[in-house]
A and B are shown apart, each in its own frame.
Chain A
Amino acid sequence: MTKQILFLQGNDVCVEAAIYAGVNFFAGYPITPATEIVERLAEQLPRKGGKFIQMEDEIASMCAIIGASLTGMKSMTATSGPGFSLKQEAIGYAVMAEIPCVIVNVQRGGPSTGMPTCVSQGDVMQARWGTHGDHAIITMTASNHQDVFATTVEAFNLAETYRTPVILLFDEVIGHMRERLIMPEPGEIPLIERLRTSVKEGTDYHPYLPRDDGRLPMSDFGGVHRFNVTGLVHDMWGFPSNNPNIAHGLMRHLVDKIENHVSEIAKVKEYYLDDADGILISYGSPARSARHVVENRRKRGIRLGLLELQTLWPFPAEKVRDLCSKAKYILVVELNMGQIMQEVKKAVEDPGKVFLANKIDGTFISPTDIRNIIRLIQGKGV
């Protein structure tokens, strides 16, 4: 059977993947460069029996997807920087109350209104620490449309597995670029459905009692079990508590359920790393230029490799350390002032060999830009 081949924008691919993953609720508010996601879902969801709503702002959108997800729906919202800022308080709520949902941020230049139509990766740290309080979060990204598809499906899978918000951090170039997508067949990418409790009606049910493996089999809100959900520190019944033991246990659970599974959650792509003297580390659209440089240099026998990060949070520090242990220099390629570079410095044995190739002016980083920085590192001059 020949596969369906589509030619789409990254934003459209994200929608196709979300539908493949079974999204049936979306709430959003239009914002460049994420608007196409909102529009396409407005059209697609009712055809699949799902529901779309344009809320009055991004705060409301985030709250609405949490409410819908609680009732059992696979829920998603999409936005860009200013809207992402507005969603932060409610993202923390989803962390605390353990509510699966997917938040897409198609990044544009910031801070503030910034450069609405221009590319940036300035929200990496906001994705990690945007909401207040200690917490763990999952954040993923992609550099091409096939990966946008796979990563979006994975985001839903991880949200359901760990009962947590998952952030998809795309960027303007990925969102608006048109590229080929080979549409995966139904069943080709496995889907993970929500773990639901097997406790029968009338039995004392503990909505917030995780299993030994950290997973939480929750009953759909509005179903046979009545329980309380709150953003306050709570016990296994979901009742607010100020008990230090309960608070400590909950905080550990919320962080450990993700941080203890970094090796299962975090994904990277490795290109020519085995014998590489120099390693580029990149993610999202800049990884395209980085890959171009690496392929080009390899043709000339130069031992350059690329480590493409597909998961940004939890940061795969051990993997980065292992893969970079033999490199003479590491060049992080990103469209911000070194947000991932700092993580790489923390991860590797010798932070002194970590350099940055970046752009913060709203333009895309080209292979030439990267090549020039490599020459500088090697003391060759541009």
Chain B
Amino acid sequence: MAVRDYIRERFMPHIWCPGCGHGIVMNTLIRAVENLGLRKNDIIMVSGIGCSARITGYLDFHTLHTLHGRALAFATGVKLGRPDLHIIVPMGDGDATAIGGNHFIHAARRNIDMTAIIMNNRIYGMTGGQYSPLSGYGRMATTAPYGNIDQAFDIVELAWSAGATFVARTTTYHAHDMVTILEKAIVHKGFSVVEVLSQCPTYYGRKNKLGDAVEMMKSYQKGTTPIGSNAKKQNPDLVERGIFVQEEKPEYCTEYEKIIQKVKGEKQR
């Protein structure tokens, strides 16, 4: 299929600003689905609220646009209803780690089979540039007019320690890598997390004087390096990208199905 076959043209024009990284994530996701040969009917997308969350409406899958922070909780119910389908949950960094932080760590802990894509622009785009748990110390935001004093999460470490069985990081600059990573994340049986550094030139870029979208993407090129590279050893400030975790653990829906098979038809004790 062509890329446009996955897009709901009725929904266009989209709401994203020129240069927003979220569109690159959408494009890349389509390519990953296409490469995997999945049918549109086999994919359910569940999102919360934010610029990033709008990706669901634009794609011609089964799409559920829910509440700020709650996408994974809705998705858990959907997955238990349709364990046979692929669930993809695109989220903003605020959506996933502030208001939705609790659902995020618990979905990871359960190792329920779905793919969380965290589109990390280090800011609240939708509401106009307030700081998020990913903004970072010293950064500027409309609600941190004197510089942010909050420390940032590391999404990879957070997901890893919470129990996610597939954890990766990539950026909008590395779109080709992103396709491969998303493919692996989608077919992974268990809770998979892909953090994508995605530029918000409108707020994070402007507030922090990071230049336009192209400059921000170049900073992803310069500021990141493959996991375990020599460059990282020389410059510990570089952010690593690639697949950090890929392991097998009992998956929630499969385990629940085993319980049903064991006790089905039993009378009350």
Contact = CB atoms under 8 A, between A and B. Distances in A.
Contact of B76 (A44, A46, A48, A53): A53
A63 B77 contact: yes
A237 B78 CA distance: 20
Interface stretch (A67-75, A324-332, A374-382): A67-75
A204 to B, nearest CB: 11
Contacts of A78: none
Given A60-B73, A222-B44, A73 B81 contact: yes
A51 B253 CA distance: 10
A57 B91 CA distance: 20
A63 B67 contact: yes
B102 A68 contact: no
A361 to B, nearest CB: 35
B76 A229 contact: no
B61 interface: yes
Contacts of A66: 66, 74, 77
B174 interface: no
Contacts of A27: 76-77
Contacts of B266: 47
Given A221-B44, A226-B60, A229-B63, A57 B77 contact: no
Contacts of A221: 44, 62, 64, 78, 81-82
B37 interface: no
A68 B80 CA distance: 7
Contacts, number: 136
A52 to B, nearest CB: 8
Interface string A58-89: 01110111111111110100000000000001
- How many chain A residues sit at the interface, stated as a range, is 35 or more
Most B C-beta atoms less than 10 A away, residue of A53, A67, A222, A228: A67
A11 B198 CA distance: 49
A93 interface: yes
Contacts of A240: 57, 65
B102 A90 contact: no
Contacts of A75: 77
A51 B73 CA distance: 15
B67 A90 contact: yes
Contact of A226 (B41, B67, B73, B79): B41
28 contacts: A46-B264, A47-B266, A47-B267, A53-B76, A56-B106, A57-B102, A60-B73, A63-B66, A63-B76, A64-B76, A65-B77, A67-B77, A67-B78, A68-B78, A68-B81, A70-B64, A72-B81, A75-B77, A89-B67, A221-B78, A222-B62, A222-B82, A222-B85, A226-B41, A226-B63, A227-B62, A230-B64, A240-B65
